[in-house]
Amino acid sequence: MRLVNSNILSDTKGITPIDFGRTLIVSTEKKIDYQTVTAAGEITGAVSSDKVYKKVEAFFGGSNRVDSVDVVGETSSVLTDGDALKAFLDKVKAENTDIDTLFAMLDKYDETLTKPFCEWCIANGKIPVYTTTADINIDTVTALSKSLNSLAIAFDGDENLDARVLGFMTTTVPGYLPWSWREIQGTVVNSRLAADQQKLLAANINFINQERRGLNVLIPGKTSFGEFIKNEWGKANMNDDMHIAVCNLLKSNDPLAHPGADLSAANRIDQAVFSVIIDYAGSDRKFIATWSEAEVTAGKTTRRAGDPKGWARTKTTYTVSDIQNGKFVVEWAAMPRGECLTGEITGLLTFDINAITAGEE
């Protein structure tokens, strides 16, 4: 039970704080007890020819930044449809209440199980990830992503692309790196025609694109509802840090008054929450935008250059009942730094010196 609830909105919906650097891979072929492994060879109950083994192998096959992944599984004779899969996942969750992962994926794409798996993950505060392969009809692929329209992360290409990307991009300190324009070790360029790749982009499906010779990058770095993964991932961690900051304040040896009875308490709460915004605007996170010298000079803010674009404000007007029951409310807002995905470069090669000097002004 939580006494302090934290929730971040980004024109979408809130998230549930969970274990950020942790991924669950579910085998749909073999019964495997829940376990945490640091290599595919450590999986008890799987061999090298199994899909789950290859998925874990891909997870650790690149420049991974986490040292473990969670694995569990059930046989195909049990996982006959979406309802059976959801029932199995409910059982796994009930038996492992001390474990919660942010990302989750099946060992393979399955036309019967992938969608209900994603639905279960979203309903249980996880980010589902899956990969379709080039032999699947493009309209089927895009229709699935559009129907999910959620935090689900869709990939298209090599069947283990999802695991390879997660192994490289997941970390216990999210918010720093974007997911778009990543060069992922061991990946190959998506083999679909250019017209179909445009359909992948339109459906917010991630794939390896050859931007030019020798430069193969992951694009667009988005969830199925179109938000940049970096923003959702950073938001999840930021939400948790907000909760921790306020809880640390509440349990400190300097008792916190109710802001409706003592206005000085509001300032302390504001500082605790705003300190998280400052952290996420710093060089270790680079998630929240900062004010520039030009913006300060132009009078767009009363903040200093380098300060985060954000604020925190604790409510100070309450009913007597709220004060008696200790209920308080903190509101805040901040602007993420965003990402550059597509662009245009225009130029002029000229002997006209006036065109040169004009551009230098």
**Closest alpha carbon to 273 in 304, 234, 313, 328:** 313
Separation of CA 220 from chain center: 13
**Do 154 and 148 form a contact (C-beta atoms < 8 A)?**
yes
Q: The whole model's pTM is what?
A: 0.87
* DSSP collapsed to 3 states, 176-187: CCCCCCECCCCC
Per-residue pLDDT of the chain (361 residues; tens, 9 = 90+): 455 565 554 443 333 334 567 899 999 999 999 999 999 999 999 999 999 999 999 999 877 778 899 999 999 999 999 999 999 999 999 999 877 888 999 999 999 999 999 999 999 989 999 999 999 999 999 999 999 989 999 999 999 999 999 998 887 666 677 889 989 888 899 999 999 999 999 999 999 999 888 889 999 999 999 999 988 888 888 888 888 899 999 988 998 999 999 999 999 999 999 999 999 999 888 899 999 999 999 999 999 999 999 999 999 999 999 999 999 999 999 999 988 888 899 989 999 999 899 888 6
